Structure 1
């Protein structure tokens, strides 16, 4: 008897395509996080997901396909959750909002990201997975293949806000780097939650503690973005005169790499 591969499924087949695929991804996120890519076998992933090993080949072709699906799932889920504040930020950018509006839009994205990372149950299974991936411990894929899956709407919008505050182009590398480091505050706390809680003597992150974390990150974000605005006049003067970025810039920043060549 041939196993059903359709969405309807059978008692002996792959029950409900979307449900089966989701169970495999959830199991893979857990095992890849705990054991790494090499240590997590497709057989173990299938067993944890409650499916037969051939189901993995049917939905994902191989273990690399399962891994990429995990990355894509995380990026897509975060993008969907942040759609509202990101859309609002895009509207501010399109309407040439002023500095205060841009900073508020950035901070609103941060607040939604914090709420999601620390209140949703799903990211708990992502923490080790993403810690390994961000540390370069995942499998090696062609750069474009992995970048396309990691790409969310979050970073492009945040970096464009920073670029606007800097008075530079949206593709400016420094704007992207600043956006990554600012949003990285929450990602770092999320990935190192256990050691942070141990250091603070916390057994959990309740509503009050989450509010405290969010408030601290929000204040730091506002200060960092306001400093970007304060630096803008000098930056515009340098750009207009085509003068190189100073070897010992003000505000304690290291020289740009292109100024050191």
Structure 2
């Protein structure tokens, strides 16, 4: 149950009326002033997305309080309705934001592999393409502070699927399908078989575990967080493990 919530529908008219009076005064002719207000509006929307990403990830959809989200974003409650319309729409916007951020970081490696798979590739190339996907996952999920929020939100959707689950699922399956096809090629499996699917997820677990268990790994190492040097070691260890699993040694192109 949500800790405290409001029903947007009965107050929507009041909210927008209030916004018109309190937050949207008639704009002067100056285009610089109009641009400044647009920029502040975009900043408020972004702050609400990040705050909601954190709160939804911690408490799930039902447990997340919009008042808490607004407070964390430094905005008033009306801003959620103004920018998103409802709690449901905000939740979906957060899922789309997570997908956009991940797509911008790992999308190229997925597209490159998918394109190569439409033609004729050899085993060393397939192994290199697979490692490219793994490397960008490690760099983005372990190398950026905000990525911890993405991971928590995705994990929450895994544990408690909501109406936005399909947004996450569609993107993750795009990534996983390409990874599965590469692994199936290396293991001489039917890419549509259950065997290929299970092996693909198992191999992905080689690096996903460091995203999920990052605090535990860092504590075991006696550190507050994982540093760049740790990511290099993780990348090396994961690469060596996958060499053994797929029977193809990664060629160091550096």
Partners of 1:187 and 1:10 lie apart in 2 by 45
Q: Determine the structure 1 residue equivalent to 2:186.
A: 165
From 86, 92, 106, give the equivalent of 1:68: 92
Cα distance change on mapping 1:43 and 1:15 into 2, 3 Å = farther
Instruction: State the 1:35 CA deviation.
Output: 3.2
Q: Determine the structure 1 residue equivalent to 2:77.
A: 53
Unaligned regions of 5+ residues in structure 1, if any? 228-261
CA contact (8 A) 1:158 1:179 kept: yes
CA contact (8 A) 1:75 1:151 kept: no
Cα distance change on mapping 1:34 and 1:173 into 2, 3 Å = same
The 5 A counterparts of 1:239-258 are none
Q: Determine the structure 2 residue equivalent to 1:137.
A: 160
From 202, 219, 227, give the equivalent of 2:240: 219
CA contact (8 A) 1:114 1:186 kept: yes
CA contact (8 A) 1:86 1:157 kept: yes
Q: What secondary structure, in the 3-state scheme, does the structure 1 residue paired with 2:247 have?
A: helix
Q: Determine the structure 1 residue equivalent to 2:216.
A: 195
From 191, 198, 205, give the equivalent of 1:177: 198
What is the aligned residue count? 220
CA contact (8 A) 1:111 1:214 kept: yes
Q: What secondary structure, in the 3-state scheme, does the structure 2 residue paired with 1:133 have?
A: helix
Unaligned regions of 5+ residues in structure 2, if any? 1-19, 26-31, 249-254
The 5 A counterparts of 1:70-109 are 70-109=94-133
Instruction: State the 1:41 CA deviation.
Output: 0.7
Cα distance change on mapping 1:39 and 1:10 into 2, 3 Å = farther
The 5 A counterparts of 1:108-147 are 108-134=132-158, 136-137=159-160, 140-141=162-163, 146-147=165-166
TM-score, length of structure 2 as denominator length: 0.74
After superposition, what is the alpha-carbon deviation per residue over 1:26-75, rounded to whole angstroms, capped at 9, x for unaligned? 00111223333333211111121122222222333322222222222222
Q: Determine the structure 1 residue equivalent to 2:225.
A: 204
Cα distance change on mapping 1:174 and 1:43 into 2, 3 Å = same
Partners of 2:191 and 2:83 lie apart in 1 by 38
Output the aligned Cα RMSD: 2.9
Residue 171 of structure 2 corresponds to residue 148 of structure 1: no
Residue 52 of structure 2 corresponds to residue 31 of structure 1: no
CA contact (8 A) 1:4 1:10 kept: no
CA contact (8 A) 2:95 2:167 kept: no
Q: Determine the structure 2 residue equivalent to 1:256.
A: none
- Structure of greater relative contact order (alpha carbons < 8 Å, 6+ residues apart): 2
TM-score, length of structure 1 as denominator length: 0.72
CA contact (8 A) 1:34 1:129 kept: yes
